Chain A
Amino acid sequence: MIFSLISIELSKIFRKWRTYIGFLAIAILVPIIQIAMLVEGEKSINFMTRNLQQSFIFVGNLLNGYLISYAILNALVVHIPFLITLVAGDLLAGEATAGTYRILVTRPVSRFKIVFSKFLGGFIYTNLLVLFLAVMSLGIGLLVFGVGELIVIKNVNILILSRTDVFWRFILAYGFATLSMTVVLALAFLFSSLVENAIGPIVSTMAIIIVFVIISALDIEFFQSIRPYLFTNYMQSWRSLFDDPIDIQDIIKSALVLISHVIFFFGATVFIFNKKDILS
């Protein structure tokens, strides 16, 4: 039954035009960044390595697919959540807006299964969107720019990762990005269960993410004390996969915090939806 419910949810998700906004945005944005890098990339690399060039000589293909993909992953950290909320915010609230809760909840299916299948539908959409981002940025990046060593700039340090030591890091980074986006999905899904219009969950989720990201970025002592309690703080941990050596403990801790958030947000949604009076 649950597979049937998930296929129903997926058919609803992928028959709405809003679902394709995310794919369209990535399909437009990523090539624009890639073209810009093709034109201006050498200058950027020279700027990044200007201090080191006095002591070292750089040889090889530094403007490569890995660097492009790494830059894109950094740049889209706030934008991808917005594309996730477009669909996630509509999963439950969209039924309320359309009045279709009535035909859905009066069927012989438990409310938990309805919520669970919708969440899984959203989770599959999230995975596909991140996968599409990976294919567009890493796949096309490697095809156009080729492979090479990856230069990673961290505060005052520059780390150069061997070309044979990068691909697996990207696979894990995209995996971690999927987990981070699942937290966004779960939060927007929770808000979606509370209201009868998809705009509310989209705006609320984005407001929370933007506020948390700003708080995380500001170097103020008070904010530093609350930073560990902000889930956005852990969403950036994929960057640790490009350290050498990798702090495995830190990545596992971040992943567990994010998984806890997903469980908490999803649990709250189930609780609310089970108690909800369908008045729409």
Chain B
Amino acid sequence: MSDDNKIIEVKNLSKQFKELKAVNDLSINVYTGDVFGFLGPNGAGKSTTIRMLLTLISPTKGEIKIFGKSLRESRIEILRKIGAIVEKPDFYGFLSAYKNLEILAKLSGIESPNIRIMEVLELVGLDKRFKSKVKTFSHGMKQRLGIAQALLHDPELIILDEPTTGLDPQGMKEIRDLIIHLSKDQRKTIFLSSHILYEVEMVADRMIIINKGSTQVEGNVEELLNRNDLKVSFEVDDTHKVLQLLQETSWIKKLNSKTKNQVIFSLKNTEIAQLNKYLVDNKISVSAVVPTRSLEEYFLQITEKSL
């Protein structure tokens, strides 16, 4: 992709908090129209990075360019074209949803925001509660109001920091659908932070995985998820019998490990069905076939380590 298409260009970004290096030499490129997944376990430095992108905190080192302009030099011009949710959405609880959005619309330079406010409230399903004070809202409702305020001024770039946190499965699906709608129908560029690989996989085109403030993996989501063999677990009644059967075949080279009821192979996508057929044809009872992608396993490992 050409440099002209870059919406976010982060170079060698670092943030030091006293003893803690929250972000370490991080570089990110996000292109126009991307749904960019920003993945990492809790404490990986995602929110710190997002806060730097939104000028909430200043970097210790490095450079941020958004829409081709230096964030330090063109802060206001850049923020005019960004909508964001940073961590949990907090509002003025003593004010109504409408009044909160009215304040934020005025701060964004919208002179007559009434129609737009009701549009975004309707989009997130809060139009019937526009008069209610925000302190009466559930977490999920505040999360949806957070999305409404991010969309209020029709930004080109939307930064969403863990937007589905605290939502029920239906709410999570609605947010995913909304992200797809904003990307495909409204041509917005979306920077989506999450600690759930599945969530990013469902909507993102490109992604980066960070841990301890540094880049671990970066690239196209589909390619990253399928670039290596899958680890496929076959649940069988007799693992000893399986090993005996495969001893003289080429499948044995693909054996990864075994437990009491499972044999795990490193296979290409197309080989799963072939091996399954071979086992069944040879009277092995296969009760389940569970594929695990290497990236998924890797992400699980770093997530577990961070806990």
Inter-chain residue pair count (beta carbon < 8 A) = 70
Q: Is the interface of B mostly helix, strand, loop or mixed?
A: loop
Known interface pairs A11-B103, A15-B95, A16-B94; A106-B87 also in contact (CB < 8 Å): no
**A98 and B86 within 8 A (CB):** no
Q: Which of A11, A15, A103, A110 contacts B90 (CB 8 A)?
A: A103
Count chain B residues whose beta carbon lies closer than 8 angstroms to a beta carbon of A.
Answer: 31
What are the residues of chain B within 8 A of A160 when measuring CB–CB? none
Contacts of A39 in B (CB 8 A): none
Flag whether A59 is at the interface (Cβ < 8 A): no
Q: Nearest chain A CB to B153's CB is how many angstroms away?
A: 8
B-side contacts of A217, CB under 8 Å: none
| Chain B residues with CB under 8 A of A109 | 76, 107
Determine the chain A residues whose CB is within 8 A of the CB of B76 once the complex forms: 108-110
Report if A99 contacts B (CB, 8 A).
yes
Interface-lining segment among A1-9, A134-142, A161-169: A1-9
Q: Is the CB of A98 within 8 A of B92?
A: yes
When C-beta atoms are compared, the residue in chain B nearest to A101 turns out to be B56
Is the Cβ of B80 less than 8 Å from the Cβ of A108?
yes
With A8-B103, A278-B51 given, is the CB distance from A106 to B86 under 8 Å? yes
B103 contacts which chain A residues (CB < 8 A)?
8, 11-12
Contact between B88 and A99, CB atoms less than 8 A apart: yes
Closest to B47 in A: A279
Cα separation A55 to B24 with both chains bound (whole Å): 86
Residue of A nearest to B100 (CB): A103
How does the 8 Å CB contact mask read for B8-35 relative to A, with 1 for contact and 0 for none? 0000000000000000000000000000
Can you name the residue of chain A whose Cβ is closest to the Cβ of B76?
A108
A98 — nearest CB in chain B belongs to which residue? B90
Min distance, Cβ B99 to any Cβ of chain A, angstroms: 8
Distance in angstroms from B82 CB to nearest chain A CB is 7
Residues of B within 8 A of A11 (CB): 99, 103
Instruction: Decide yes or no whether B169 CB sits under 8 A from chain A.
Output: no
Task: Give Cα A108–Cα B80 distance, bound, in whole angstroms.
Answer: 5
Number of A interface residues at 8 Å Cβ cutoff, please give it.
25
Encoded as 1 (CB less than 8 Å from any A CB) or 0, chain B from 274 to 287 comes to 00000000000000
Encode contact with B along A189-223: 1 for CB under 8 Å, 0 otherwise.
Answer: 00000000000000000000000000000000000
In the assembled complex, how far is the CB of residue A185 from the closest CB belonging to chain B, in whole angstroms?
21
Contact A104 B107 (CB under 8 A): yes
Interchain residue pairs with CB less than 8 A apart (30): A4-B106, A8-B106, A8-B107, A98-B92, A99-B88, A100-B90, A100-B92, A102-B87, A103-B89, A103-B91, A103-B104, A103-B149, A104-B107, A105-B54, A105-B55, A105-B56, A106-B84, A106-B86, A107-B104, A108-B77, A108-B107, A109-B76, A109-B107, A110-B75, A110-B76, A275-B58, A277-B57, A277-B58, A278-B56, A278-B57
Of all A-B residue pairs in the complex, the 4 with the closest CB atoms, nearest first, are: A99-B90, A277-B57, A107-B107, A278-B56
Contacts A8-B106, A98-B91, A277-B51 known; list 13 others, CB within 8 Å.
A1-B109, A4-B106, A8-B103, A12-B92, A98-B90, A98-B93, A101-B56, A106-B79, A107-B79, A107-B104, A108-B76, A110-B75, A278-B56
